[in-house]
Amino acid sequence: MSIVSSLIDKLKTRVTDNGGFGVKDAAGARPDATAWAILALMASNQDGDLINSARANLASQQLPDGRVSISRNHPDAFWPTPLAILAWQNSPEHREAQSRAIRFMLQTPGQHFPRPADAPYEHDPTLQGWPWIAGTHSWAGPTGLGLIALKVAGQGEHDAAQEAERMLMNRQLPKGGWNYGNTRVFGMELHPMPESTGIVLEALSHRVPREKIQKSLAYLRTRLEGLRPPRSLGWGLLGLAAWGEGLPAAHGLVAQSLESQERYGSYDTVCLALLVVSLLAPRGLASLYQ
């Protein structure tokens, strides 16, 4: 059995009674797990009824203003909203839900403010992106996810998308790559992270000249050689693929990552689905919709 087939079979064991997907075995449905499972099922051309049921479950979790939060008990944690937008793409039955989610994102940036003269950080805090949680500053991960979703949904030229692009470029580390969203603090350059770098490179593909992110591509190529954590590996593969630098060794790297489950336990649904997508999207996540 292929890696993808075994991963899809594992994902299917996590379908809940209401059509969503749990984060782990026997867990209740959670929006981020459901959205990622949908992306994996789409990428692997699985049963449409299973996908539609999962999309309907995701729609049932949407709040009236369009946000999709990690749970109804935590409405401020609305970072799964761009994942829902991606999961509903090309689904006529969920066009209205997707439109409401897009409107929510366009109207709900992170908190921004002028940079104080004595600030210990060096990034420009006036540039708007998206936060993980309402009422907080914008960071690289949620802004990258937001920009990917807007691009796929045909809103890539909206003012908010263009501002997000400028924000992400401002947060690129001088030596290449991205971390959670700072560059230098107290004069010291921070270290890049493969997951953040992969998300942002996916988001910026076809938007900025290659020479502006060449150092980040070089960092990620070098870093992936010994990388095994599933989130970092999956996003790293997608980030490179979005710039035409898919790795021939991707299947081997994923296989080695999966072997780590023997020591650390079964990966959660998001990780399993992300690895599926990274293997089936040779030109990046957005290529699933082309």
The string of pLDDT tens digits covering residues 21-58 is 999 998 999 999 999 999 999 999 987 899 999 999 99
In a domain, 112, yes or no: yes
In a domain, 174, yes or no: no
Q: Do the strands 188-189 and 184-185 form a parallel or antiparallel pair, or are they unpaired?
A: antiparallel
At 15, give phi and psi (nearest 5°).
-70, 135
Domain count, the chain: 1
Using 50, 70 and 90 to split pLDDT, how confident is the model at 1? low
Q: What mean pLDDT value characterizes the chain? A: 96
Which has the closest alpha carbon to 165: 210, 203, 116?
A: 203
Range of the domain at 10: 3-168+249-289
Burial of 288 (0-12, 13-18, 19+ CB in 10 A): middle
Please report, as a single letter, which amino acid is at residue 156: G
Task: Name 61's Cβ contacts closer than 8 Å, sequence gap at least 6.
Answer: 20, 29, 31, 34, 68, 69, 72
Q: Which pLDDT score, from 0 to 100, does residue 9 have?
A: 95
Burial of 235 (0-12, 13-18, 19+ CB in 10 A): buried
> Model's pTM, two decimal places?
0.97
C-alpha span between 288 and 39 (Å, rounded) = 9
In a domain, 114, yes or no: yes
In a domain, 215, yes or no: no
Provide the CA 83 distance to its chain's centre, in angstroms: 7
In a domain, 132, yes or no: yes
In a domain, 271, yes or no: yes
What value does the mean pLDDT take over residues 127-141? 97
CA angle 250, 252, 258 (to 5 degrees): 105
